[in-house]
Amino acid sequence: MKKIDSRLYSILFTGILCVSTGSIFARIADASPLVIAAYRVGLAGLFLLPFALVFSREEFRKLKVSDWMLGFTAGGFLALHFYAWITSLEFTTVAASVVLVTTNPIWVGILSPVFGEKINFMTASGILISFSGALIIGWNDLQSGGQALFGDLLALAGALCMTGYLLTGRFIRKKVSLLPYVTLCYGSAGLFLWTAVLITGLSFRGFPIATWITFPAMAIIPQILGHTAYNWSLKYVSAPMVAVTLLGEPVFSPLMAWFFLDESLTLPVIAGALVIMTGIFLAARGEQKG
């Protein structure tokens, strides 16, 4: 069991690192948030589709209508999550945006009993400790008001949509394997977002070369590698545990923003990072005992 746990948490840690690059790519891309989100998940779905048709054709044929509906529901939550979160980056800092968009452990913990999952005391304590670390990182920005406050609210909306995405994914991953699920989820999210792009008449061509590079990079690194690591783990651990590992993103995203975007790296970021990692460790121990 220890060997399996080691592999599981290694994959989750890799997922954290990959997902943490998303805010950096989104900042670099010179396009509207809706178009950025559409390219990210749309390309991810297209990249995965040939593999799904080759290796999971039979499973796709056996999916029930309810499975398709759940997959599209997860995709809808994912589409709304990305639109709200990427838009928030235009109004607030990477640190504050990532802090608020990763408050989903609180909402997942509250709603998990509705879906038949209970969390023990140690896991709940880890969630609360990690969340307090996230608040330490983003506290200054949360107090600044104005445009930053609007960005914070958008990031919070993104967190609520991520909660729906994780809980739906936890339910469907119990009976649908990884490749069909992520192909259906990312593909449907891309379909929703591209429909919105076309309806709103936003430009999706003529971008600088740096922006064109970020689109496939976002599809591969934070989406296919990062989100798929989380979706893989949903079959083996609870949704609250997966949600709390997402709080690793406020640790690594500000570090990347400091290195690549020259955003300041302050003492609260460092202190909050230590608190978050402590909470993740406790939640992981609680998950093993649960």
Contact (CB, 8 A) for 159 and 86: no
User: Cβ–Cβ contacts within 10 Å for residue 54, how many?
Assistant: 9
pLDDT band at 92 (very low <50, low <70, confident <90, very high): confident
Q: 189 lies in a domain?
A: yes
If one compares 191 and 136, the residue with the highest pLDDT of the two is 191
pLDDT at 2: 41
pLDDT at 239: 67
- pLDDT tens figures, 215-246: 999 999 999 999 899 888 888 776 666 776 77
Q: 75 lies in a domain?
A: yes
Q: Mean pLDDT throughout 41-60?
A: 94
Q: 267 lies in a domain?
A: yes
- pLDDT tens figures, 99-134: 777 777 777 766 766 666 666 777 777 777 877 776
Average pLDDT, the chain: 82
Q: 65 lies in a domain?
A: yes
d(CA 100, CA 209): 31
- pLDDT tens figures, 11-20: 888 898 998 8
pLDDT band at 1 (very low <50, low <70, confident <90, very high): very low
Q: Mean pLDDT throughout 25-41?
A: 91
Q: 162 lies in a domain?
A: yes
Instruction: Tell me the one-letter amino acid at 20.
Output: S
Number of domains in the chain: 1
Q: What are 159's two structure tokens?
A: 């967190």
If one compares 56 and 286, the residue with the highest pLDDT of the two is 56
pLDDT at 285: 66
DSSP letters for 78-138? HHHHHHHHHHHTTTS-HHHHHHHHT-HHHHHHHHGGGGT----HHHHHHHHHHHHHHHHHH
Helices and strands counted in the chain (H then E): 15, 0
pLDDT at 242: 74
Q: 84 lies in a domain?
A: yes
pLDDT at 68: 93
How distant, in Å, are the alpha carbons of 105, 177, 279 from that of 40?
24, 22, 30
Q: Which domain, by its residues, includes 140? A: 27-289
Q: 21 lies in a domain?
A: no
pLDDT at 137: 65
